[in-house]
Structure 1
């Protein structure tokens, strides 16, 4: 065989190999894209309808329903009644169980991947997601009292600002269990993003530590002079800063964002969103 023939054979072999490699690469890219599409499709906001107990028979008619009836239902939902367990506790557990299953799935996928270019992260809201303000809510009979003292005594109101500065809000047990399981993976960083103000930052750090939330990657609090109509731009902006830091900051992929308000979760920059039930109040 001549040198020209040898070169032609070699060229055909090389071109054939290139086509096969290109085909394999295309299949891999399409598979990855399909997986990402499926994951995105599976990750609409996960939430449960709060299983608030029906009003008692004495208040069962529409005519007699009033705000006190609703408050009684909410108290029963949170605390249970006559020895019956709280629906709230189980509802919250279901959401955090689903979130943990998803996080573990993503951690396993990342371990098998060779092209993971960003560290994984989870974002948690604080109030009614990680820490419970139930003592404050109950003392104020579901009203919002911003100022004034919080003596935490029966029949006395509790100013919310002073309540925060007390740094005594208890952990929501299901959130703490989720948090510790995520931290134990050593593969996922946890960030807290809260509507609490910069002036409440130190008290919040003390409260998180006292409640058992230790070893997190960061706490993002809201500027005291920021008074937008909705908290969505602040929270989504902070998630964006975690995923797309300016300068030399470490880049993360937020695989799960968990909060008790729709506004905690809107605005993008999170792969999956999980809403913890909170029928007690609403924040835009």
Structure 2
């Protein structure tokens, strides 16, 4: 494959050289071929986001200052939505082509809530798209408003899962005591209905990090008899650990990291 690509590149260069020679011969002027270059700052930020999404860059506290404009553009100018849709299309293919449900009432699918089902984009817009340190008080005030919009691609998938017969579990690290009713109302208002269970963090799981907590929730579901066909989240801690399911899918999120 690489040898073929090398040959193609050589043929292209020969063609361009011949074209330049012809233009020079006919016009007496030299043709300059300009190379397209990504600005150095954007080039670094592209690499930084790749590192984040592949989990090679971990435990980062805030978006690097030089990448604030890049992350803003990524989140609001359409590429984020296109990336979500591409991933959701892959999930749809898996659901349609590879999953054969047992229809015994124990075919399960797990979805994270924040920035998977519903979006906190408007909140993080006020936080310079992740350029400011995490603010527990500020996020609490935002989440208690219950106005997070649905992420359209995920809602489309959700309706497909429900229609196909999955038992869908919405699992979030939000505190049950603080955010329980607000989160339920927010999800319902955005079209997330008919799920099997909304699971929030109870006092029993206080002190666990996200990976430990979600692993324990999945363990409990498996012990109840559920087969986890799929598991989707925007953080690596959503889809790593124990009992992750047959397939996991990571949605992009360059605004914050949850261990």
TM normalised by structure 2 equals: 0.71
Compared CA separation, residues 208 and 59, structure 1 to 2 (3 A): same
State the alpha-carbon separation in 2 of the partners of residues 263 and 278 from structure 1. Answer: 12
Runs of 4+ displaced beyond 4 Å: 55-62
Partner Cα separation in structure 2 for residue 96 and residue 61 of structure 1: 27
- Uncovered stretches (5+) of structure 2, i.e. residues with no partner: 1-36, 45-62
Once superposed, what is the RMSD of the aligned Cα atoms? 2.3
1:145 aligned onto 2:135? yes
User: Relative to 1, partners in 2 of residues 1:58 and 1:279: Cα closer, same or farther, differing over 3 Å?
Assistant: closer
Distance 2:147 2:94 in 1: 31
- 1:124 is paired with a residue whose SS is strand
CA distance in 1, matches of 2:148, 2:42: 34
For each residue in 1:35-77, what CA deviation from the matched residue of structure 2 results, as whole angstroms up to 9, or x when unmatched? xxxxxxxxxxxxxxxxxxxx98495698xxx944301000000
Which of 54, 69, 72 is the equivalent residue of 2:69?
Answer: 72
User: Unpaired segments of 5 or more residues in structure 1?
Assistant: 1-54, 81-85, 148-158, 246-250
Within 5 Å, give how 1:1-284 maps onto structure 2: 57=39, 59=41, 67-80=64-77, 86-107=78-99, 109-110=100-101, 119-141=106-128, 142=130, 143=132, 144-147=134-137, 159-185=138-164, 187-199=165-177, 200-224=179-203, 226-228=206-208, 230-245=209-224, 251-269=225-243, 270-284=245-259
Distance 1:96 1:58 in 2: 31
Q: Deviations over 1:167-221 (max 9, x none)?
A: 1000011110110111111x21110011111121111100100111011000111
Distance in 1 of aligned mates of 2:237 and 2:156: 24
Instruction: Say how many residue pairs are matched.
Output: 199
What TM-score results when the alignment is normalised by the length of structure 1?
Answer: 0.65
* Rg larger in structure: 1
> What does the per-residue CA deviation read over 1:87-133, in whole Å, with 9 as the maximum and x for residues that have no partner?
111111111111122122344x336xxxx766211100011111110
